[in-house]
Structure formats: C-alpha cells, structure tokens
Amino acid sequence: MKTWNDYKEYVKSVDSEAQKDIEEIENIASIVGTLIEKRNSLGLSQRELASMCGIPQSSVAKIESFKTIPNLDTLLKIMKPLGLKLTVSTV
C-alpha cells in the first residue's frame, strides 16, 4: 500500500516543477478537510448544510470529494453556516 507521501516523492522525482503544484493541492485539501471535519462535528448532513448555504447537496458533495475546486464565493457560502472564516496572513 503506497502512501500519499510515496506518490508525492515519485511525482517530484519525475517532474521537478511539481513541488508547488503539490503544495497547492495540499493547501486545498487542508481547507476542504477542515470543512468536512467541521460539518461532521456539528452533526450536519450535506443536505442540511447545503440548504443553509442555498446551494444543492450535489455541489457540496463534489467539493468534499475533490471532484471540483470551489470558487471563492462558493467556499465562503459554505463556511458561513459552519462558523468558519477565511483569513489571509503572511507566511
């Protein structure tokens, strides 16, 4: 069983430019992962959350399952009822 790190190292060995793409993927995964955890910790189903956001359940599912990368406005719509906010800070 290969781990995510195994794939990461492989991709970087094949494509030296992959580093920043990988960082971006992990960044997105981290943000979306936080959404999922928060939704679960609040005991909300995708349908419930979606109706709070005013977006369809299918859109929530696509984002949570990494089928699509959300727009900033959609992301904020979802974060709002979860009590989450997006902050820009310096590295």
Partner DNA sequence: ACTCACAATAGCATTTATGTTATCATAAAA
Partner DNA sequence: TTTTATGATAACATAAATGCTATTGTGAGT
Residues that bind DNA (CB under 7 A): 39, 45-48, 54-59, 61-65, 67-71, 73-75
- Give the whole-angstrom CA distance, residue 80 versus residue 86: 10
Considering the complex, state which of residue 27 and residue 68 has its C-beta at the smaller distance from DNA: 68
Residue 84 contact, options DNA, a second copy, none, Cβ 5-8 Å cut-off depending on partner type: a second copy
CB 35 within 8 A of CB 82: yes
In angstroms, rounded to a whole number, what is the distance separating the alpha carbons of residues 6 and 4? 5
Phi-psi region at 43: left, alpha or beta (left = phi > 0; alpha = psi -120 to 50): left
Pattern of binders to a second copy over 30-69, x per CB under 8 A?
A: xx--xx---------------------------------x
6/19 with CB nearer a second copy:
19
